[in-house]
Amino acid sequence: MKEDNLKLVHQDIDEALAAIENMEEDLKNETLSTDGVKEKFMFLSQKLQELENILKTEGII
């Protein structure tokens, strides 16, 4: 895998994990609205799409 793509994948994964951890904490504290949940899932969906595109570019999937 190209070094640049590897860094992008690592960054995307870190951002997605941070978003999941934040969402989990907000859900535990019941401070996340329905719109907030939707926004977080849209963000995660975008990150997954970016990861998929990089993996396709690299011929991994």
Chain segment 13-61, per-residue pLDDT in tens: 999 999 999 989 988 898 878 898 899 899 999 999 999 999 898 888 8
Q: Whole-prediction pTM value?
A: 0.76
CA 56 to chain centre: 17
Query: What is 6-42 written as a DSSP string?
Result: HHHHHHHHHHHHHHHHHHHHHHHTT---HHHHHHHHH
